[in-house]
Structure 1
Amino acid sequence: MELTLEILTILFFVATVAGFIDAMAGGGGLLTLPALLAAGVPPTQALATNKLQSSFGSFSASWYFVRNGIVSIKEMRVAIACTFIGSAVGAEAVQYIDAGVLTSLIPLLLVAISLYFLLMPKTREQSGKAKISEAMFAFSVGGGVGFYDGFFGPGTGSIFTVCFVALGHFSLVDATARTKVLNFTSNIAALLFFILAGLPIWELGLVMAVGGFMGAQLGAKVVVSKGQKWIRPLVITMSMLMAMKLLWEQHQQWFLSMF
């Protein structure tokens, strides 16, 4: 494909908006991946290039939260390690295992996440006592969701967030901050496999990365200043949009036959 100035400019702005949304609620790939495919990037390279640019966005948001003392890397080191290993194993496993089962289950999980945030009582402003130990959380959530992100991916941020709120009893702001750290970890682990396979389009990915970085910084600031007021409706909206997108892709012919 030919990388024209027009294509690069459009994708830069798409990545900026996606980075802003992703820092608060996840789901930025809903914008960037279709944009890459529409620009003529082959599917496997689009996935790899999207992972490249999204890594910069998730790093940007993570850096903001760590720098402002909202989250401690030292306290999350076990979860980070488990997430990295899980994502690496998932990225390797996807080459050998049929993803059909996950493809069918994930839209239902995303709808459940939306309903959880929609129907749950008002989330706490401060973190409370966790339901499971830190080590168990790191192994089960970090390793499990990390594996899912390396293997498949859609909705990873939403899944991490709901786990931090429901199991870790974190406030929505603290949960979002920790989500971005683990999201960045799983992104990097999967990206390494894509780089080894020579799949990312570097010029395109790095241009989008600049936009994603800037958008994520702004989104992270909004999380801190607006908190639950913005995060909760965005998580619900992005989870539902991802669920509808996946259901459409899986059952497009059935939906069309109804009309």
Structure 2
Amino acid sequence: MDEIWIYIFLIVAGFGSGFIDSVVGGGGVISTPALLSIGLPPQIALGTNKLASSMGSLTSTLTFLRSGKVNLRLTAKLFPLSFTGSACGVFLVHFLPSQLLRPLILILLVAVTIYTLLRKKWGAASHFRGLTGKTCMWFLPLVLAIGFYDGFLGAGTGSFLIFSFLMLGFDFIHSAGNAKVLNFGSNIAALITFAALGYVNYRMGAIMAAALIAGSWCGAKVAIKSGSSYVRILFLAVTTLLIGKNIVDYLTWLTR
């Protein structure tokens, strides 16, 4: 592939990834395979993707913040958990094969999708009244675990974060806004760690980041304008896509 076509390919993939990722996460399903397809080694593809996705998640985070769709007091407290978990996850990439987690992730994605489908009015309105001691016991470790997962594997992080905020009583649009703040935390932590390990191609990452920023801005604007029902539909579509991808990846690993 000629260099100019590689850049065009990365721009198109980056925009599509940013658009989806800004709303419900899952943009890595597009951007990471795109980087792998141009010949980057897996670790460098993951690190380069984090450079691009960090810029995209920052853009969508700022867009949601300006629209008032983020609980800033809550997300500010949770941000360090997402950041720390992600950094730990990146370090474990060196020691554990990601395939060990794939069956668990597949089961969780299926459960999330079925639960959301069955609860048709879930996330239509916000009922969050604050964290209690009881919710802290399960929610804080969950945020840390999702941050860890983002550093280790990544695909579906946004979906898991949105689902977590829905469980707290937020509507879909506020869940998406809150999720983007924490997703930015896990992305930037992973980027710093990957960069320290030398796993970032800055030229490719910068090209994809520019496209991701544009896609993230457009996606967040559409989500805010269209409301919770649109986010719910996209959430179900992306989690279904993630389920299919994880099935293919797991079957490929089993047949090696």
- Report the TM-score, using the length of structure 1 for normalisation: 0.90
Indicate yes or no: 2:14 matched with 1:27: no
- Contact kept in structure 2, 1:57 and 1:213, CA below 8 Å: yes
Q: Deviations over 1:142-189 (max 9, x none)?
A: 2121111112212111111111001x1001000000011111100011
The alignment yields a C-alpha RMSD, in angstroms, of 2.1
Indicate yes or no: 2:5 matched with 1:6: yes
Matched with 2:112 is: 113
Q: Find the aligned partners of 1:14 and 1:144 in 2 and give their Cα distance.
A: 28
- Contact kept in structure 1, 2:99 and 2:250, CA below 8 Å: no
Matched with 2:166 is: 165
Q: Find the aligned partners of 1:136 and 1:227 in 2 and give their Cα distance.
A: 31
Q: Which runs of 4 or more aligned residues in structure 1 lie more than 6 Å from their structure 2 counterparts after TM superposition? A: none
Distance 1:242 1:87, change over 3 A: same
Distance 1:76 1:137, change over 3 A: farther
Where 2:72 maps in the other structure, the secondary structure is: coil
Shift of 1:42: 1.6
- Contact kept in structure 2, 1:79 and 1:138, CA below 8 Å: no
Indicate yes or no: 2:210 matched with 1:210: yes
Q: Find the aligned partners of 2:176 and 2:196 in 1 and give their Cα distance.
A: 30
- Contact kept in structure 1, 2:36 and 2:42, CA below 8 Å: yes
Matched with 1:96 is: 95
Unaligned runs of 5+ in 1: none
Matched residue type, 2:228: Q
Matched with 2:179 is: 179
Q: Deviations over 1:14-42 (max 9, x none)?
A: 10111011111211111111111111112
Within 5 A, what are the aligned runs for 1:1-259?
4-129=3-128, 133=132, 135-136=136-137, 139-166=140-167, 168-252=168-252
Shift of 1:252: 3.3
Matched residue type, 1:172: F
Unaligned runs of 5+ in 2: none
